[in-house]
Structure 1
């Protein structure tokens, strides 16, 4: 048995099923522009991946796909701004409630609107308000 496979098995046994399953699954983060007539500017990244500046048109979407690391520490965050304000926040992290209830185990869907930023809650099948814009 290879040393890397042994490490993965040891981590799965010591950390629990969530991190082990998360490391095997592919995740997607979607950033959607729900504005009526404004472009959303966003810059998303993790410790290892900088996704660059994205200009998301009205009703448009920016998305990316990835697998979490074996330690369950994968974290993505975004800076978003438009003429009405800005906000920096985490858009993906490994946590039971977040992954199951909000991301439906694989897709995290964020929507920017004039009155704030919303996250789709797959458990309730609707967007929930998450953040206000900062001036």
Structure 2
């Protein structure tokens, strides 16, 4: 093997190993910031994993971690329920979130969830997903 080929191969291997796809985990933290001091019930899952039901009092949080799959298709969605309300949201979509957060902090409000990333502390708020298309 030529020295140039070995160098390129080593550079590619190091790049792959340092990426989130091989070594890193993504962490999601969800905090109940509902207006009015309401308790929140959260149930998160993916195609392969069920995180389980969590009961959050006002300002309480819970988190989970996962390793995104090699194919770039990792997706987690959560249902959110409080007094007289039920919503759901795709809490992690790899092609939306992979480049902007590996520590994804979500504040749940009545209007929808807001993402604060650890990288730049920017806040992006989203509306709830269409409740007529609830996933099973």
TM more than 0.5: yes
- Which 4+ stretches in 1 moved above 6 angstroms? none
CA drift of 1:32 comes to: 0.7
CA drift of 1:57 comes to: 1.2
> Is it true that 1:112 corresponds to 2:112 in the alignment?
no
CA drift of 1:66 comes to: 1.2
TM-score under structure 2 normalisation?
Answer: 0.70
| Aligned residue in 2 for 1:55 | 55
| Aligned residue in 1 for 2:20 | 21
TM-score under structure 1 normalisation?
Answer: 0.71
- Greater C-alpha radius of gyration: 2
Work out the CA distance in 2 between the residues paired with 1:120 and 1:127: 5
| Aligned residue in 1 for 2:44 | 44
| Aligned residue in 1 for 2:77 | 77
> For structure 1, which runs of at least 5 residues remain unmatched after alignment?
1-11
Q: Compute the RMSD of aligned alpha carbons.
A: 2.8
Matches within 5 A, 1:114-133: 114-121=110-117, 125-132=121-128
